[in-house]
Amino acid sequence: MKWLLISTLICVIMLIAFALTEQYKDKFDFYNNLKIFLNQFKINLSFKQEKVNEFLSKTECKKQFKIFIDEYKNYLKTDNLSFEKIKILEQNERLQLENIVKCIGKYNAQSEIEQLDSFILDIDEKLKKANEDKTKLCPLIIKLSLLFAIGLAILLI
């Protein structure tokens, strides 16, 4: 019985560790999808709203980027924009993302390309940081959690 409880404790701790690492993976996926999304606008600046909606409907994405897509669709319909539901982003990142979305389609083609290039450079920096966090922190969290679980198991024995 004691071994069963200890192994259950170790499993619970490891599940918590894997859940914590998901936010880093989600953030990397979010910025990667955002970069692809902005490049699509850059490639085809003549999007009309019907084409944008068609493009957005075809976009395959995970939960957090799906929230972004849904909010963007809502913005196209109602002109209201809020990214508060995207939990993996900090407040300043949400504000920057709102600024990006509000600026899309507001300029002539040349200015739009320059604006999108600027946004993509910012996203590249955030993507690089998210990748570093994912590759460094995820294994670290898992290893520390495993050590903690084993240490706790030894104390309980």
Whether the Cβ atoms of residue 41 and residue 47 lie closer than 8 Å to each other: yes
- 75 closest CA partner among 98, 94, 50, 44: 98
Residue 49, H or E segment: helix 49-58
CA angle 68–107–119, rounded 5-degree value: 45
Determine the Cα–Cα distance for residues 87 and 93; give it in Å rounded to an integer: 11
Q: pLDDT tens for residues 39-61?
A: 877 777 655 555 666 666 666 67
Average pLDDT, the chain: 83
Q: What pLDDT sits at residue 105?
A: 62
For the residues 135-155, what does the mean pLDDT come to? Answer: 92
For the residues 114-135, what does the mean pLDDT come to? Answer: 89
Q: What pLDDT sits at residue 48?
A: 54
Determine the Cα–Cα distance for residues 34 and 91; give it in Å rounded to an integer: 17
Q: What pLDDT sits at residue 59?
A: 67
**What tokens appear for 100 in the block?**
């990006």
Whether the per-residue pLDDT at 145 is higher than 90: the answer is yes
Specify the residue for token string 């990006």.
Answer: 100
Whether the per-residue pLDDT at 144 is higher than 80: the answer is yes
Q: What pLDDT sits at residue 53?
A: 63
Whether the Cβ atoms of residue 25 and residue 131 lie closer than 8 Å to each other: no
